[in-house]
Amino acid sequence: MKIFLDTANVEEIKQAIGYGLLDGVTTNPSLVAKSATKERGFVDIVKEILRITPGPVSIEVVATDYENMVKQGLKIAALGDNAVVKIPMTLDGLRAIKTLSEKQIKVNCTLIFNPIQALLAAKSGAEYVSPFVGRLDDIGEDGMAIIQQIKTIFVNYDISTKILVASIRNPVHVLRSAVLGADVVTLPMDVLQKLPSHPKTDEGLKRFLDDWKKVSPDGEFPL
C-alpha cells in the first residue's frame, strides 16, 4: 500500500521524504489556501511540490464546467510528469475525466462518498478514486464500509483504477485500508507520525536501555 501525504506544506513533504516513507502527495484548494502567502502563491507551491516529491502529486482544478476543467487539467498536467489532475465527482467532472484520460493524463477523481460514484469514475478512466472516509464518519456513516464495497466492485469487474483512501483521521483508518487492500492512503502529517508508535514499544525500549546500563554503566556501545 502506498503512502501519500495530504498536504500543500513543502516542509512537511521534506520531513516525510526524510523518513523514507513518502510515495506521493495529494493537495486540494483548502490545503493550498493554508500554505499560500502573498509572496508564494499556488503556482510556486505546486511547482516545488512536484519537483521534490518522488511520486505522483494530485493537484485539483477549481472550475466546475467541463470545458474549463479540461483546460485547467491540461495546464496542471503540463507542470510535470508526476502531476495528477484532481477532478471532482460531478457529471461535468466525469466528462472531463474521460477527455483527459484519453490523452493519457492521470486523473484522481475526488469527493467520492459512495461506491457507485467510484465505479463511474473508474469507467470514465480515472487512475485513482478518492473516497473521503473521515467526512463520512463525521456525519455518522461508516466511511470504511464504502472502501470495502469499492474493493469488491473493482475486483468483480477487474478494474485497475486505484483506491486512494482520503480524509483519513487516525491510524485505524490506515489499518483498515491495508486489511481491505486499498492501493493508497493519503495522510495528514499527524497521522503519519503516529503510525510507528506503540506504548509497549516505548516501554520495551526503555527496559532494554535500562538493562544495558548494567553491562555498560556509561551507556557506551563497545563496538
Catalytic residues: 86
Cβ-based nearer residue to ligand G3P, 128 or 154: 128
Cβ-based nearer residue to ligand G3P, 86 or 151: 86
- Bridge partners of residue 58, in order along the sequence: 26, 84
By CB under 6 A, name the one of 132, 162, 176, 185 that touches ligand G3P. Answer: 132
CB of 205 to ligand G3P, least distance (A): 32
Contacts 24+ apart (CB under 8 A), 27-31: 27/57, 27/58, 27/59, 27/60, 27/86, 28/60, 28/86, 28/110, 29/60, 29/62, 31/6, 31/7
Of 104, 6, 3, 10, the C-alpha closest to 51 is 10
Cα–Cα distance measured from residue 138 to residue 143, given in angstroms and rounded to the nearest whole number:
9
Of 142, 86, 95, the C-alpha closest to 120 is 95
Asked if residue 53 binds ligand G3P (CB under 6 A), the reply is: no
**Segment interacting with ligand G3P, rule: CB under 6 A, options 95-103, 112-120, 129-137, 193-201:** 129-137
Asked if residue 166 binds ligand G3P (CB under 6 A), the reply is: yes
* Residue indicated by cell numbers 483519513: 168
Interface positions, 167-206, toward ligand G3P (CB under 6 A) = 167, 186
Task: Calculate the CA 106 to chain-centre distance.
Answer: 15
In terms of DSSP H, where are the helices of 2-124?
10-19, 29-35, 42-52, 66-77, 91-102, 115-123
By CB under 6 A, name the one of 9, 26, 99, 124 that touches ligand G3P. Answer: 26
**What's the Cα-to-Cα distance from 108 to each of 125, 139, 165, rounded to whole Å?**
10, 24, 11
- For residue 52, the 8-state DSSP code is H
Cβ-based nearer residue to ligand G3P, 31 or 180: 31
CB of 59 to ligand G3P, least distance (A): 11
Binding mask 86-125 for ligand G3P (x = CB under 6 A): ----------------------------------------
Asked if residue 135 binds ligand G3P (CB under 6 A), the reply is: yes
Cβ-based nearer residue to ligand G3P, 128 or 132: 132
Cα–Cα distance measured from residue 70 to residue 202, given in angstroms and rounded to the nearest whole number:
50
**Segment interacting with ligand G3P, rule: CB under 6 A, options 93-101, 127-135, 150-158, 209-217:** 127-135
CB of 125 to ligand G3P, least distance (A): 20
Interacting residue ranges for ligand G3P, rule: CB under 6 A? 6, 26, 28, 132, 134-135, 166-167, 186
